Amino acid sequence: MMKWMKRWGIPVAAVLVVVAGAILQVVAKMQPVPESSLKQPLKELIPLDIAGWTVEDMDLGPTESVTQRSHDLLNLDDFVHRSYKRGDKSFTVYIAYWKPGKMPVRLVNQHTPDRCWSEAGWTCTDRKWNVEKTVDGVALQPGQWGIYELESFKNHTYFWHIVGGKVHWYGGERINTKSSITSIWEDFTKYGLNVHREQFFIRVVSAEPMDDLWDEPGFKLVMKDLAELCLAQIEPDANLAAK
C-alpha cells in the first residue's frame, strides 16, 4: 500500500485537482452574468484636452501587425492608450477592459509588466507591492510600482488589476509564477463560483521618476478620473459593518 501511494499518490492527486478545477470552471460558467458597469468608451472617461499639455492617443503596438496580434491575444472589450506631455514632464496611461465573464483572472494577470515586459527583455530594477496613494484626498486602491529598464529606456510604472471593483492582490515576488492549476484554485478560494466579474487593467508610465507628477494639476486631473472609474478605495458598507 505504501509503495503504491509513493508511486501513484502524487499523479492521482494531480489528476483529481485537474478534474476538480475543470468541474469548478464548468459550474462557474453556468452562473448568471452581470451587466457591464462601463457605459461609455474608455477614451471618453479620461481627459483628452488639458491646458498646457500635448495629448495623443496611441495604439497597442508600433505597427499594424503587432497591434492586431495584441488585440487577438488580450481579447479586449475596450482600451485606451494615451500620452500626455508638457515640457520635460510626460506620462502615458493605458486602460484595458474586459466585460464580466470575458477573461479568467489568471489570464489577465499574465499581462502585467512583471510578465510581459520581462519576457520582452525588460529588467525590473526596483519593485514595491501594494503601494497606497491619494489624489486630492481620495485614497486609491493599493497599486503596484516598479522600474523596468531596456537598454537606455527606463519606465517608472504604477499598475492596478481591478476585478469586480476591487484590486486583485499581488502576493510578492512570486507574482505570475504560479501554475494554471494553482491559479484556478486560488481564483476559486478568492472569488468562489462568481467568476463573472468585469476587469480593468490600468498602467501609468513615465520615463522619469513620478514623485513630482503627483503634484501636477494635469496629472491629478487624470488620476481623479481613474479614481472615479475604478481606482478609488472602496469604503466598507456601514450597514454590513453594523451587523
| CA pair distance 75, 107, nearest whole angstrom | 10
Instruction: Please indicate whether residue 161 or residue 68 has the higher confidence score (pLDDT).
Output: 161
Note whether 124 and 148 are within 8 A (CB): yes
Q: Which of 37, 23, 18, 13 is nearest to 196 (CA)?
A: 37
Note whether 234 and 165 are within 8 A (CB): yes
Note whether 34 and 100 are within 8 A (CB): yes
Helices (H), the chain: 2-29, 64-74, 105-109, 113-119, 180-191, 217-226, 238-242
The pLDDT assigned to 174 comes to 44
Long-range pairs of 1-6 with CB within 8 A, sequence gap ≥ 24:
none
Q: Three-class SS string for 189-207?
A: HHHCCCCCCCEEEEEEEEC
Torsion of CA 68, 73, 78, 84, to 10 degrees: -70
The one-letter amino acid code at 74 reads L
| CA pair distance 101, 163, nearest whole angstrom | 11
Please tell me whether residue 233 adopts helix, strand or coil conformation: coil
Encode pLDDT of 172-231 as tens digits. 544 444 445 555 555 555 555 556 789 999 999 999 999 989 999 999 999 999 999 999
Helices (H), 30-101: 64-74
For residue 218, what is its C-alpha cell?
A: 494635469
**pTM of the predicted model, to two decimals?**
0.79
Encode pLDDT of 111-161 as tens digits. 899 988 998 899 999 999 999 999 999 999 999 999 999 999 999 999 999
Q: What is the largest CA-CA distance in the chain?
A: 76
For residue 88, what is its C-alpha cell?
A: 520635460
For residue 226, what is its C-alpha cell?
A: 481613474
